[in-house]
Amino acid sequence: MSDALPTHLIHHPYTPPEGFDAMSPGVHKASTVFFPDVNALRTREWKDKSGYTYGLHGTPTTFVLEERIASLEGGRHCVLTTSGLSAISLVDMAFLSQGHEVLLPDNAYGPRKAFAAGELARWGITHRFFDAMNPADLEAKIGPATRLVWLEAPGSITLEFPDLPGLVAVVQRANEARGDDSRVLTALDNTWGAGIAFNAFELGIDISAQALTKYPSGGADVLMGSVVTRDERLHQEVLLCHMRLGIGVGANDAEFVLRGLPSVALRYHAQDAATRALAEWMQHQSGVAAVLHPALPHSPGHAYWKRDAKAAACLFSAVFDDAISQQQIDAFCDALRLFRLGWSWAGPMSLCAPYHVPSIRTTPWPHQGGLVRFAVGLEAVEDLRADIAQALTVLRT
């Protein structure tokens, strides 16, 4: 068997119940798990998946999903959480204490910035932003209190693709002068790459968090997150924090994600091709000042994407001409029929949302015009193109 991802995910090891060998893993649901005797109750271990003790700490269904997500991302261990956002906050809570500082890319996913500004700040954990496109800025911002550096590739909304190995190297240099207990860790929000566009661990990243809500589910009907690691010690810290927080996932949600996994690579590449076609076409439409997508040659960080990634996800952003008002852009979004207004992406249905970039970042933004982010679904590309074309006529009136 080759190590091609789809084959690997479809023929992933699974031990079926005696006499019931089938493609799909069973859906096991429980809060209570019975122990045969007191000795078993005292000694049974769930942390290494050698046993089951309580529904919150894992079921046969969630253990299988964890193993497959770890495989998908080229990691060794996985912990499932209730959403992508809770996967990110779990990493923060597992590794940060009062007096520590976490560094975030300026173009990070918005709600994760809100967690730092709201909860982390109240707990005496500071955060600062760095320009993800400038490793020297990260270097300047790593201080004695820094313990964690988050990365995102590409940035949310504005889709700049950073020099991941360059940023990791900055952290590695800072760690040369530090002892093991003050080591700075790197964590990546890997929702966009999904384990398919690139292998985060081969780029030197310590921890990968992903919103399984997006590609692995693929159905726009589940919220779930994952934290994947290769290092056993890091995994144990994530696992213990997760156990203390009580954020285990339900078996029916795990079932939906398991159902989505065999087609994840197929969907990723199909949506990639459709998105590139639309992004390229969009560049030539009047009223459009710039189209942001890592595979487009002028898009920020294109060279890093080309060097480090094999594919691109289903997102592109269009920046409109300065002369086009927010009202016209809103009317354009309202005129779209197939692209529905809403958050999230990587489901079957195309989505879009307008953003005001200057209010969501501090680093300079070169454009004046408004931005709309498009998430391309699984509809026929020609229908999506026609939908944007008809809405553009509304924009121009």
Task: Note the residues at the interface with ligand PLP (CB under 6 A).
Answer: 83-85, 109, 156, 189, 191, 211, 213-214, 223, 225, 344
DSSP state of 336: -
Q: How far is it, in rounded angstroms, from Cα 90 to Cα 235? A: 12
Q: Residue 98 Cβ, how far from ligand PLP at the closest point, in Å? A: 25
Residue indicated by tokens 């919103």: 211
Which of residues 93 and 174 has its CB atom nearest to ligand PLP in the complex? 93
Pairing type for strands 126-130 and 146-152 reads: unpaired
C-alpha 397 chain-centroid distance: 38
Q: Residue 137 Cβ, how far from ligand PLP at the closest point, in Å? A: 21
Which of residues 69 and 85 has its CB atom nearest to ligand PLP in the complex? 85
Q: Residue 214 Cβ, how far from ligand PLP at the closest point, in Å? A: 6
Query: Residue ranges of the alpha helices (H) in the chain?
Result: 5-10, 38-43, 60-72, 84-95, 110-115, 121-122, 135-141, 164-176, 232-245, 251-260, 264-283, 302-308, 326-335, 381-396
Q: Across the chain, how many H-helices and E-strands are there?
A: 14, 12
Which of residues 191 and 275 has its CB atom nearest to ligand PLP in the complex? 191
* Structure tokens given for 375: 């998430």
Q: How far is it, in rounded angstroms, from Cα 356 to Cα 360? A: 7
Q: Give the H or E element holding residue 309.
A: none
Which of residues 109 and 339 has its CB atom nearest to ligand PLP in the complex? 109
Which of residues 56 and 223 has its CB atom nearest to ligand PLP in the complex? 223
Q: Residue 157 Cβ, how far from ligand PLP at the closest point, in Å? A: 9
DSSP state of 162: P
Closest-approach residue to ligand PLP (CB):
84
Q: Residue 393 Cβ, how far from ligand PLP at the closest point, in Å? A: 30
* Structure tokens given for 282: 């969009």
Which of residues 28 and 242 has its CB atom nearest to ligand PLP in the complex? 242
Q: Residue 74 Cβ, how far from ligand PLP at the closest point, in Å? A: 19
Q: Residue 344 Cβ, how far from ligand PLP at the closest point, in Å? A: 6
Which of residues 85 and 234 has its CB atom nearest to ligand PLP in the complex? 85
Which of residues 107 and 146 has its CB atom nearest to ligand PLP in the complex? 107
In the β-sheet with 288-292, what is the strand arrangement from edge to edge? 288-292, 315-320, 371-375, 351-355, 340-341
Q: How far is it, in rounded angstroms, from Cα 342 to Cα 321? A: 23
Q: Residue 294 Cβ, how far from ligand PLP at the closest point, in Å? A: 14
First to last CA, the chain: 57
